[in-house]
Chain A
């Protein structure tokens, strides 16, 4: 099945312009569809109108050049707001093998799928209140009144610039991008991708046996939404990430207290944070591909003895994935129920079933102490999860997905801009104790339970009911800090400590995976935080703290300046990039085996608001310009061709007839001049000859005295050098030489006879 990866935003190179039209009710929509005349329009929509029906109607109308989603934070939120598919990642994971999403009861029932439609126009999101009010003001002032006469006046319009250079689909785009042109390679799109984060509980040794097993604890690292840079992803994936981080922290502290970190263990725990999972499991399918090829966690170098052996799929003893965790579920008698989703065919294997039953049993045993209950769902449908990639590759992995939901997501804002702290019922406590039914407490309890169960699983030498674990309250405060980092501001104590920097970007994290070759900040921050929380301090100076295993960090979580410590960590990054692009030669793009999402190269997005000139005004200006232009050409041509007459500064041409004596008298000249005839030349419009008798014909060589027009008393002399008759006697068409002469006067035209 082909993976559809058309880019979502198209736009003209010069920007999309449209007249603002606010759609608040159905009436506004109907007016736009049926009566609007001044197209194209920019539809300004509130979240509650941003539905599939409205959007498809706008697209079908062809009258819309762009859509602006107004998201006023203080306004009431719609109940549902998810633009992901009803079956997220419908075409990947296990879908090649079996149907995991029940169409009549899909995982994301309120998903509109708007994200997956090629709109053909840009969709922008505006939440800045000042901008919103300006937009409405302008709309009310210019567009909202007398709507049916919009054509006759200037209208408030928007221009959106979001040009994307990619075209057609990923295959074409990647092929074009890798075709070298004469000078350089032009990129049209980049494959989506980033880095997975992995870490093990115990360090792996160089000469480790290859049959050691690991328990994988995985969570996805990325979410998505329709809008660039706005992927709060509180429930998916942040709740899972935080749970995983806390589990790692608690598990490490248990192991450290038992001081068995450096001892050989048959079982290990592998923490995996998988990136790009929202786009058809990029990270997990890459891990699976790497594992199959003996390249996980890293490509073996030539001196293989230097490194621990690679992990294969058969090394995975158990796979626990942390999905969406929230307090939204039903709660009975101070007991929160969470659900382990099992893959139905796989769990029929007896060994698998035993492992999983045992695990859930232990989870329930430890969970009971903190009010957690776990039930197993072993249904034919299986939620979208990274585990699907592993199951698709090897059907006998015992794996479970832990989530807050049964057969449908509780998260009504799945993969949207509203999946933020508010949706998670999270509020930052800033050091004080979170309440017992808060999400912080739930995650802390869950992490503790999971850590205890995991430790029991990997080190079952002794039953540890009274594990030396601090009270969950301190953990709940740490969870609070972690959520604060992801949901409120990245400039938070934990991230500051992890990066050993004094200030970071003060905005909520965006969990979009990004493109290959560029690690999104949150990936790096999460990796460092994992290393920080596991926190195995070693005694090294900053200078010596530079190899792969060591990271220099701040040692105080409260953000006060500290000298820093050296931390030994197993945390590392692995590639999260679909092998389809560069690793598999001649990949069959239509096979749908691996994710082939790409992101088009785009320029900065901009929006401008302005008055668009009315069509009548434009026409008026243009026609006025054209009229003036053509008139002036006509007039100048006319004036230029008749300049000798018009300005009278040249002698007139008299062409009454050709028989001699034509130019008998000056009187006759004057008369002819008044009639504007022509043949010979007289200057200044008045020919007065002092030297000629009135009835004497002008001869060649005669001198004619002509008064200057402006100063009649000043006479100029013109020697008559050519008369027409003379020319004719030559019986040839000849150019008569200039009559104009040394006095700088008349510049007659040559008369061609």
Chain B
């Protein structure tokens, strides 16, 4: 029960996004996988770094900071790669396909790839334990642990998607403010999760979701949405 609850909570939204926006287009799937691979590379390097710097192994914050920076570096690399590959992609895709025609779609797909893989890595071992028959709290810990883990994973999946959209557009338009926002909020949201060590789940989730909503609005704006268009889309049903 807890397993399914947490899985649906964390991976329901990305699953829906994948099913409706990505699954129909093979090119998008490829880009998704490629960006997931890039995230894995960043993860590999940050874990190597953690492994090498022996004295700081027990310090969570150290690994976290470098992991965030590395993730952003690899976001930049995949941006570069996709921009380089753009002309090639155009040739590959059918005329009718639109993947290359809207830069934001590329960014969105790449971001979702980042998010899904990071969510998977942060949650899979927790989910494995959530299968049962036990729950948290025998020695210490709270029975809300599974739920908060899933919620945090969801938050970061969505954040990665939004960050990529903002980041790509920022790179396109040389809008360094946007890029700074991405890196800044990434660092901030990650640092808030450090509070989970002391079981202050609310203190880490609430700011995380606030940042998520703010970043989401910003990404929507960057992608061309306005309040008007939002209202318009609601109206015409």
Contacts and interface: CB of A to CB of B under 8 A. Distances in A.
Interface of A: 15, 17, 138, 154, 156-157, 159, 608-613, 617-626, 628-630, 632-633, 635-637, 639-640, 642, 645-649, 673-678, 684-685, 709-711, 738, 740, 744-747
Contacts of A745: 101
Interface string B44-84: 00000000000000000000000000000000000000000
Interface stretch (B117-125, B135-143, B180-188): B135-143
A350 B16 CA distance: 95
Q: Is the interface of B mostly helix, strand, loop or mixed?
A: helix
B5 A621 contact: yes
B98 to A, nearest CB: 4
Given A611-B134, A633-B12, A646 B229 contact: yes
Contacts of A640: 20-21
B8 interface: yes
Interface string B127-163: 0000011111110000100110010001000000000
Q: Which of A624, A625, A710, A711 has the most CB of B within 10 A?
A: A625
Given A612-B135, A621-B147, A636-B21, A645 B232 contact: yes
Given A645-B233, A747-B98, A611 B137 contact: yes
Contact of A17 (B2, B133, B220, B236): B133
Contacts of A646: 225, 229-230, 233
Contacts of B91: none
Given A629-B12, A636-B21, A613 B1 contact: yes
Interface string B3-17: 011111100110111
Interface residues of B, number: 50
Nearest to A621: B5
A678 B226 CA distance: 18
Given A642-B236, A710-B173, A710-B222, A621 B146 contact: yes
Nearest to A14: B133
Interface in B80-104: 95-96, 98, 100-104
Given A610-B133, A610-B134, A744-B101, A623 B5 contact: yes
B228 to A, nearest CB: 6
Given A159-B133, A625-B6, 7 more contacts: A620-B5, A625-B8, A628-B8, A629-B13, A632-B12, A646-B230, A647-B229
Given A157-B133, A624-B5, A647 B147 contact: no
Q: Which of B12, B132, B133 has the most CB of A within 10 A?
A: B133
25 contacts: A138-B138, A608-B134, A611-B136, A617-B143, A618-B5, A620-B5, A621-B5, A621-B9, A622-B2, A623-B5, A625-B9, A625-B12, A628-B13, A629-B8, A629-B9, A632-B16, A636-B16, A636-B19, A645-B233, A646-B230, A649-B104, A674-B232, A685-B232, A738-B96, A740-B101
A623 B9 CA distance: 9
4 closest cross-chain pairs (CB), A and B: A625-B8, A629-B12, A610-B134, A621-B5
A636 B13 contact: yes
Contacts of A15: 133
B7 A649 contact: no
B116 to A, nearest CB: 13
Nearest to B99: A747
Nearest to B2: A621
Contacts of A633: 12, 16, 19-20
Contacts of B150: 625
A164 to B, nearest CB: 20
Nearest to A677: B236
A685 B229 contact: yes
